[in-house]
Amino acid sequence: MFCQVADIQTADTLKLPIPEMQTGKPMIVRAPSTPELKEIVKGLVQRAEAIRSGRVPPQDDNMLKITSEGRKAALDLRVLNPRAKDQPESKINLAADRIFEVWKDTHENRCAQMVFCDLSTPSKLRRQFSAYDDLKTKLVDRGIPAEQIAFMQDFDSDVQKHILFKDVRSGKIRILMGSTMKMGAGTNVQERLVALHHLDAPWRPADVEQREGRILRQGNPPQPT
């Protein structure tokens, strides 16, 4: 009924002047599995089978808990167990390599990058493993100045966000990390964006579109990757 009285135009039909990806489609970087991760996945499968058979009460274990732990393990085993080893080819390490290469290649134009991660966000208590802190440490170790890296979670007020966005647009902040909720709609920093990285996959396809809408939008002259 709504379509009978409304003229719906999508970005594709309007052909808005947005930048094209360098490769024409997102680049998928595959992180190899480890024996430890395979063992955890095996345990998750066994738990799921026990739930389906009714052998486990919902208050003791459930599918939501299993899928949540699976997502955390897929990001980094240290999210589940802080004492786990740091794998050389983990998602965080591979992301650090890629982010540093883009940072170095675009140093002259001071281009910016965004990193999305909904899991293992920074904690003010700093008592648990954080993918954000770990990635920042590795980027600094590779040579990126710490003052060029910012976490969206550290900016709460509208005034703080306004200053942050201005710093990203000017090239003062070149690596901006945040979650879909914190760094989605309203984050207008597209002028210098050259790359966007997904450390994890959100539940809803709309969230992926919201993330990528930060860089694939009007007013962004560079070609994103």
- Tell me which of 15-24, 66-75, 77-86, 135-144 is least confident: 15-24
Domains contained in the chain, number = 2
Comparing 13 with 145, which gets the higher pLDDT? 145
Last residue of a domain, one of 75, 98, 129: 75
Comparing 127 with 187, which gets the higher pLDDT? 187
- Kindly state whether residue 129 falls inside one of the protein's structural domains: yes
| Beta strands, E only, the chain | 112-116, 149-151, 175-178, 193-198
Question: Range of 63's domain?
Answer: 33-75
Residue 225: pLDDT over 70? no
Considering the domain architecture, whether residues 215 and 152 belong to the same structural domain is answered as: yes
- Kindly state whether residue 136 falls inside one of the protein's structural domains: yes
pTM of the model: 0.87
Considering the domain architecture, whether residues 168 and 101 belong to the same structural domain is answered as: yes
- Kindly state whether residue 9 falls inside one of the protein's structural domains: no
Q: Sheet holding 193-198: strands in order across?
A: 149-151, 175-178, 112-116, 193-198
- Kindly state whether residue 217 falls inside one of the protein's structural domains: yes
- Kindly state whether residue 163 falls inside one of the protein's structural domains: yes
- Tell me which of 26-35, 94-103, 182-191 is least confident: 182-191
- Kindly state whether residue 27 falls inside one of the protein's structural domains: no
> How high is the pLDDT of residue 219?
63
Considering the domain architecture, whether residues 119 and 56 belong to the same structural domain is answered as: no
Last residue of a domain, one of 46, 75, 104: 75
> How high is the pLDDT of residue 159?
95
> How high is the pLDDT of residue 223?
47
